[in-house]
């Protein structure tokens, strides 16, 4: 009897284990079983995956914002203007402290002259200055008191300064006769520097836009007929039209009647910005029909005077907002400068002013502007 009970208990326990195993198999069939440590790792992995997706989403947002910024940048054209650049000496000038002397002291480093303003010129779409020096080896000097000349290699000063375009309509471009003038044009062409003036309209392409530049010596209103014709031609071929005048009276801080008449006439005929030079000093700025007339940019890199009494100058920037190849707005920006990076002499190295000096020059420009009918104000 005891033997029978033992056998019964053994079989009973056996069937219990078999039955329990079967139930477990049915319950967990098709389900994944995780070791607790592995489970934690997988949860962390899934969490990290979610973070990665979030990061990707954030990156996409930033990229979109960056693309918008790039798009906005692509929809603006920034043009910098600076004044008289005389890259050389005048015949008969003393060598000490002259442009050539300083260049020699700088080991013929062409980049020296525009070094301190180059970052501004590099970050725009076009830089235009007034080139008031024939770049030539010609000896056929004009019979005048101040006849300027620069070596043909000085075109590299412009290149090193990130200057893409020059105006050549001024009272010194023929200082070394027709040969000096033609040599200058040839040297500019060889260096891929655009030039405007003396009957030539320059066309410059950037960001799918065409910029036209017209240059004139604006001594009288008799040029109106030719000016009107040139602006009309430029507007037919370009999206932005610039007009550069060499005009006004030397060392005068206010534009004369001819300047005001020609400047406003150019805007009336379709010019988008008018800039001027020749007075050697700064003059005021007008905003006429929502377009800027900068009457005098003053000297800039000026080899014609070893120590000018008035060293104040500025870079004027016009920023064009563009929509579907049309100008929707023009924003002006004034960058006060000095023609020299030292005060006691002209070292022919324009420098951007900061602090009190910057404010002083800005105040001068706004003061002179306040005396004009359409003068800008703060």
Q: How far is CA 266 from CA 67, 145, 228, 232, in A?
A: 37, 32, 7, 10
DSSP 238-305: -SEEEEEEEES-TT-SS--HHHHHHHHHHHHTT-SEEEEE-SSSB--EEEETTEEEE--B-EEEETT-
DSSP 149-176: EB-GGGHHHHHHTT--EEE--STTTTTT
- pLDDT tens column, 315-370: 999 999 999 999 999 999 999 999 999 999 999 999 999 999 999 999 999 999 99
Mean of the per-residue pLDDT values for the chain? 87
Kindly state the tokens that stand for 355.
């602090």
39-69 core/surface letters (b: 16 or more CB in 10 A; e: else):
eeeeeeeeeeeeeeeeeeeeeeeeeeeeeee
- pLDDT tens column, 121-150: 999 999 999 999 999 999 999 999 999 999
**Residues in Cβ contact with 139 at an 8 Å cutoff, skipping those fewer than 6 apart:** 176
**How far is residue 350's CA from residue 211's CA, in Å, rounded to a whole number?**
26
**How far is residue 1's CA from residue 13's CA, in Å, rounded to a whole number?**
19
* Residue 318 bridge partners (DSSP): 79, 332
Reply yes or no on whether the pLDDT at 256 is more than 80: yes
**How far is residue 338's CA from residue 281's CA, in Å, rounded to a whole number?**
11
Kindly state the tokens that stand for 258.
């001819």
Domain ranges for the chain, please list them. Answer: 41-74, 79-370
Reply yes or no on whether the pLDDT at 78 is more than 50: yes
pLDDT at 12: 53
CATH class of the domain whose range is 79-370: alpha beta
| Full-model pTM | 0.81
Reply yes or no on whether the pLDDT at 82 is more than 70: yes
Reply yes or no on whether the pLDDT at 285 is more than 80: yes
Secondary structure letter of residue 339 according to DSSP: S
Extended strands (E) in the chain: 76-86, 89-90, 126-131, 148-149, 165-167, 194-196, 202-206, 209-218, 240-247, 273-277, 285-288, 291-294, 299-302, 312-323, 326-338, 351-352
- pLDDT tens column, 273-282: 999 999 999 9
Phi, psi values for residue 162, rounded to 5°: 60, 40
């Amino acid at each position: 009897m005891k033997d029978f009970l033992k056998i019964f208990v053994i079989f009973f326990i056996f069937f219990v284990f078999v039955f329990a195993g079967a139930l477990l198999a049915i319950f967990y069939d098709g389900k994944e079983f995780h070791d607790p440590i592995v489970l934690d790792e997988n949860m962390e992995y899934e969490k990290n995956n979610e973070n990665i997706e979030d990061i990707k989403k954030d990156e996409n947002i930033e990229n979109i914002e960056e693309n918008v910024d790039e798009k906005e940048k692509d929809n603006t054209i920034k043009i910098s203007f600076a004044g008289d650049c005389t890259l050389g000496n005048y015949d008969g000038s003393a060598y000490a402290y002259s442009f050539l002397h300083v260049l020699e002291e700088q080991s013929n480093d062409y980049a020296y002259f525009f070094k301190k303003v180059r970052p501004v010129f590099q970050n725009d779409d076009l830089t235009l200055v007034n080139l008031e020096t024939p770049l030539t080896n010609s000896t056929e000097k004009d019979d005048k008191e101040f006849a300027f000349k620069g070596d043909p290699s000085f075109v590299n000063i412009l290149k090193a300064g990130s200057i893409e375009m020059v105006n050549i309509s001024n009272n010194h471009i023929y200082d070394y006769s027709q040969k000096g003038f033609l040599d200058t044009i040839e040297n500019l062409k060889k260096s891929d520097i655009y030039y405007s003036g003396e009957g030539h309209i320059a066309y410059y392409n950037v960001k799918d836009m065409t910029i036209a530049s017209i240059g004139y010596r604006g001594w009288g209103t008799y040029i109106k007929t030719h000016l009107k014709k040139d602006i009309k031609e430029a507007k037919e071929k370009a999206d932005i039209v610039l007009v550069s005048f060499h005009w006004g009276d030397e060392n005068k801080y206010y534009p004369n009647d001819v300047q005001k008449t020609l400047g406003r006439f150019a805007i009336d005929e379709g010019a988008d910005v008018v800039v001027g030079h020749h007075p050697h000093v700064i003059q005021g700025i007008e905003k006429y029909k929502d377009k800027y007339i900068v009457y005098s940019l003053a000297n800039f890199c000026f080899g014609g005077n070893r120590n000018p009494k008035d060293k104040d100058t500025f870079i004027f920037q016009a920023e064009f907002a563009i929509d579907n190849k049309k100008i929707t707005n023009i924003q002006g920006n004034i960058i006060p400068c000095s023609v020299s990076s030292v005060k006691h002499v002209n070292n022919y190295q324009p420098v951007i002013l900061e602090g009190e000096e910057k404010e002083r020059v800005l105040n001068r420009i706004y003061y002179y502007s306040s005396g004009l009918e359409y003068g800008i104000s703060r």
